[in-house]
């Protein structure tokens, strides 16, 4: 029910989050809080435990992408508007084929990107922990400066924008034609107060344009809650910043001891960047310490193309988003059902994410699995 102090120290918990009211993107950070420009960055951050609790409850999340294809302009060989509209609902379109532009829904002239996602916390639940992840590619048709990587704006349901600064080491690496980053911050007080509803996240530092690396970016809010009538569960959030490509094909994350009962149920969430639909070879397997590791997939995420630019819950689009494109063109925030992967009597858990031909940036994993009483 608390963030591990050991992991927080090891992984560089450096800066406080601000929740200062901000009605415009031009708001100046008060002198009493750290500037986003001062946040330290690392080219690779190994995955580590951010939060872990064994309690009656679960994990919910809200998410959306920050950029999509442009519907205006002069491009060949197809009409941009028609091509873009089709891409947003396609199972094969990838971001390198389109001129990409910011999604901006808030009608605020001081923000250049803003999207919305609904968080569904059960009415009688207590929020235990909430963390916001955001990131993207800084180098496409334009080069965005990294100084703003650690800053975003968030508005709770019915509220005004508040500035959030990264409170930990920011992953930032240039490779494969991309200039990629991910930042995150603890936003527990905000979510505990506002609870369920549609949140807006704006000013994610992401570049527009078209290159072979593609433009991509988005955000995910991960929320653990406690509710007495829910099953006793392991609730865990792990994060880092790892690149999978031809030089590093697999990431294995061991969650340690997670003893599960017979007929256990559970879910696994993954936050990743630049997974392209239609490029086969990426997969996710889960091992529980007994028997062979098992592949996880669903109707939205095929077993050999799991990270495919989608935001889905066990194969369906259950959370409300604005916009709600099926194909995010480079951002994944998926939740998978683990029922078939939980071998009876398992007492540990590890997750392996592999890629074949695709390049993928991994940012976070979150887990809710039944625990033994």
Amino acid 73: pLDDT: 57
Of 88, 114, 116, which is closest to residue 100 (Cα–Cα)?
88
More confident residue, 218 or 281: 218
Average pLDDT rounded to a whole number, residues 327-344: 93
Half-sphere exposure of 231 (CA within 13 A, CB side): 16
Angstrom distance (rounded) from CA 105 to CA 84 = 18
Closest CA to 312 of 50, 91, 14: 91
90, 94, 276, 306, 369 from 87: Cα distances, Å = 5, 8, 12, 18, 35
Closest by Cα among 146, 140, 156, 142 to 95: 140
pLDDT per position as a tens digit, 171-222? 999 998 999 999 999 999 999 999 999 999 999 999 999 999 999 999 999 9
pLDDT > 70: what percent of the chain? 87
For residue 155, the model assigns a pLDDT of 98
The mean per-residue pLDDT over the stretch 111-124 comes to 97
pLDDT at 246: 83
- 3-class secondary-structure state, position 9: helix
Q: Which of 234-243, 258-267, 289-298, 314-323 has the highest mean pLDDT?
A: 234-243
Burial class, 236, CB count within 10 angstroms (exposed 0-12 / middle 13-18 / buried 19+): buried
pLDDT of amino acid 346: 81
Percent of the chain exceeding pLDDT 90 equals: 74
- Residues 25-78 have pLDDT tens digits of 333 232 323 345 457 999 999 999 999 999 999 999 999 999 999 987 544 444
Order of strands, sheet of 232-244, starting from the edge strand that comes earlier in the sequence: 41-42, 170-175, 178-186, 126-137, 217-226, 45-65, 232-244, 360-370, 266-273, 331-337
Looking at 11-25, 81-95, 103-117, 212-226, which range is the least confident one? 11-25
pTM: 0.89
Q: How many CB atoms lie within 10 A of CB 321?
A: 19
Q: How confident is the model at residue 335 (pLDDT cuts 50, 70, 90)?
A: very high
Kindly list the distances between the CA atom of residue 334 and the CA atoms of 162, 193, 369, in Å, as whole numbers in the listed order. Answer: 26, 26, 16
Mean pLDDT of 93-118: 95
pLDDT for the residue numbered 294: 93
Residue 150: which of 14, 274, 32, 272 has the closest Cα? 14
Residue range 80-95: mean pLDDT, rounded: 87
For residues 14 and 169, what is the distance between their CA atoms, to the nearest angstrom?
7
Beta-carbon contacts of 83 under 8 Å, excluding residues fewer than 6 positions away, are 69, 75, 98
Cβ–Cβ under 8 Å, residues 161 and 109: no
Query: Among residues 40, 14, 20, which one has the least CA distance to residue 32?
Result: 20
153's tokens = 């704006």
| Best CA proximity match to 96, nearest among 258, 263, 240, 209 | 209
Closest-CA residue to 168 (of 333, 367, 17, 1): 17
* Mean pLDDT to the nearest integer, 103-127: 96
C-alpha to C-alpha distance for 37 and 195, rounded to whole angstroms:
30
CA–CA–CA angle 242, 244, 248 (5° rounding) = 105
pLDDT at 2 over 70: no
DSSP result, 159-210: ---EEEE--SPEEEEEETTEEEEEEEEE-HHHHHHH-SEEEEEE------B-
* pLDDT value of position 71: 82
User: Who's near 317: CB < 8 A, 6+ residues apart?
Assistant: 300, 311, 324, 326
Q: Is the pLDDT of residue 350 over 60?
A: yes
| Half-sphere CA count of 219, side-chain side, radius 13 A | 34
């Amino acid at each position: 029910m608390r963030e591990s102090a050991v992991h927080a120290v090891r992984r560089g918990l450096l800066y406080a989050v601000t929740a200062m009211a901000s009605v415009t993107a031009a708001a100046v950070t008060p002198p009493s809080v750290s500037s986003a420009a001062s946040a330290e960055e690392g080219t690779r951050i190994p995955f580590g435990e951010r939060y872990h609790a064994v309690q009656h409850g679960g994990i919910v999340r809200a998410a959306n992408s920050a950029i999509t294809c442009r519907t205006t302009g002069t491009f060949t060989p197809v009409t941009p508007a028609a091509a873009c509209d089709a891409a947003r609902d396609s199972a094969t379109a990838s971001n390198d084929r389109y001129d990409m532009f910011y999604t901006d829904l808030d009608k605020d002239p001081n923000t250049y990107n803003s999207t919305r996602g609904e968080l569904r916390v059960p009415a009688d639940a207590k929020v235990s922990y909430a963390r916001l992840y955001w990131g993207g590619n800084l180098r496409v048709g334009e080069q965005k400066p990294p100084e703003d990587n650690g800053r975003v704006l968030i508005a709770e349901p019915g509220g005004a924008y508040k500035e959030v600064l990264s409170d930990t080491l920011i992953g930032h690496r240039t490779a494969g034609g991309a200039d990629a980053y991910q930042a995150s911050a603890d936003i527990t007080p905000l979510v505990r107060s506002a609870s369920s509803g549609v949140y807006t996240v704006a000013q994610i530092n992401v570049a527009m344009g078209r290159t072979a690396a593609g433009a991509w970016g988005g955000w995910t809010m991960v929320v653990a809650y406690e509710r007495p009538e829910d099953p006793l569960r392991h609730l865990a959030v792990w994060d880092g910043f790892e690149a999978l490509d031809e030089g590093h094909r697999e990431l294995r994350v061991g969650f340690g001891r997670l003893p599960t009962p017979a007929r256990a149920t559970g879910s696994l969430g993954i936050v990743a960047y630049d997974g392209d639909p239609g490029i086969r070879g990426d997969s996710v397997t889960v091992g529980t310490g007994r028997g062979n590791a098992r592949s996880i997939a669903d109707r939205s995420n095929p077993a050999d193309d799991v990270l495919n630019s989608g935001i889905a819950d066990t194969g369906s689009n259950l959370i409300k988003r604005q916009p709600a494109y099926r194909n995010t063109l480079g951002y994944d925030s998926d939740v998978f059902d683990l029922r078939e992967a939980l071998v009876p009597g398992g007492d540990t858990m590890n997750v392996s994410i592999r890629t074949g031909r695709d390049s993928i940036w991994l940012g976070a994993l979150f887990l809710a699995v039944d625990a033994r009483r």
